[in-house]
Structure 1
């Protein structure tokens, strides 16, 4: 996919990210030629989880404090329980989610990551999905919540769980093709 060689994606994660939901989309996007940057709350390596057990670690490229949304075409938010729960308490991260959304850029969230969308108050009137335990929060934030592997509503992409990763990746790639073609 040569058309993705100019695409730039920001991923935001911290300790407690679901390993497959960060690593698989990240690698698929890199393999497609996308420049992927990982930001976190601190510059130290972050610890993933895999099936509730400790998983791989990865070192962020930068902190959320150093992010300029103008440098990116899209934002990808992996799940895990602890990851979005910590991130939604960080004002800078929540502001970044709002800024990407307000700028009309693609925002993709999987599993528990829609908690960040709830916190950023960007779900009202949107069709979306997520992990079953976050769906009530999403509905309370005004989303039309459905149970589908991937939901695309304008610039918003959501998925339910690790089994949905292939569809999640395909939706992100399709959005990036459109995003970079419009640029």
Structure 2
């Protein structure tokens, strides 16, 4: 599969307080496949990770959110954590960026609390997905079909519950990138 995804471009949208493993692991696994990965953020410089119970490392921002569009990428990854998705779900530019991937039928992957962003972007109604358990009711209230599974794939939308699910999350994400656009991926 490496040859079919090599050279594709993926954006990881994050800000301060993202769960460190949920950015670092997908980034590394995608790069191992020959995929170009950019950390995109409303912040112009570095963003600080949350690692377990305390602040983690600072990660470089490759491209400011103001300087990109979904046209620049083949797929989007949304890491979780508590602070990161809570901040991004209140950022209109971030929500427009996320929504544009759905409008263009491109793969989107969200893990842990990141589906909060999807709720505010207006893209979960009628979709089957999973998340961290505390987000279940929010997703149900937004019209999603929530299930408790390691990974759920619904027409280009990949979701997982927590860092323990990262291996299968990344595997399914690469599959969806390989498949390309999904006409049933919608906002």
Which bracket does the TM-score occupy, shorter chain normalised?
over 0.9
Q: Could you give the per-residue CA deviations for residues 80-125 of structure 1, whole angstroms, max 9, x where no partner exists? A: 0000000111100001111101111001000000000000010000
Matches within 5 A, 1:65-104: 65-104=66-105
Matches within 5 A, 1:1-183: 1-179=2-180
Higher mean displacement: 140-149 or 47-56: 47-56
Tell me the SS of whatever aligns to 2:153. Answer: strand
Match of 2:184 in 1: none
Structure 1 stretches of 4+ with a deviation exceeding 3 A read: none
**Is the 8 Å Cα contact of residues 14 and 83 (structure 1) preserved in structure 2?**
yes
| RMSD, matched Cα | 0.9
Tell me the SS of whatever aligns to 1:36. Answer: strand
**Is the 8 Å Cα contact of residues 108 and 172 (structure 1) preserved in structure 2?**
yes
Unaligned runs of 5+ in 1: none
Q: TM-score, normalised by structure 2?
A: 0.94
Q: TM-score, normalised by structure 1?
A: 0.96
Please state how far the C-alpha of 1:46 moved relative to its aligned partner: 0.5
Q: Could you give the per-residue CA deviations for residues 21-47 of structure 1, whole angstroms, max 9, x where no partner exists? A: 000000110111001111111112110
- How many residue pairs were aligned? 180
Distance in 2 (CA, whole Å) between partners of 1:4 and 1:103 is 18
**Is the 8 Å Cα contact of residues 43 and 59 (structure 1) preserved in structure 2?**
no
Tell me the SS of whatever aligns to 2:180. Answer: helix
Distance in 1 (CA, whole Å) between partners of 2:136 and 2:98 is 19
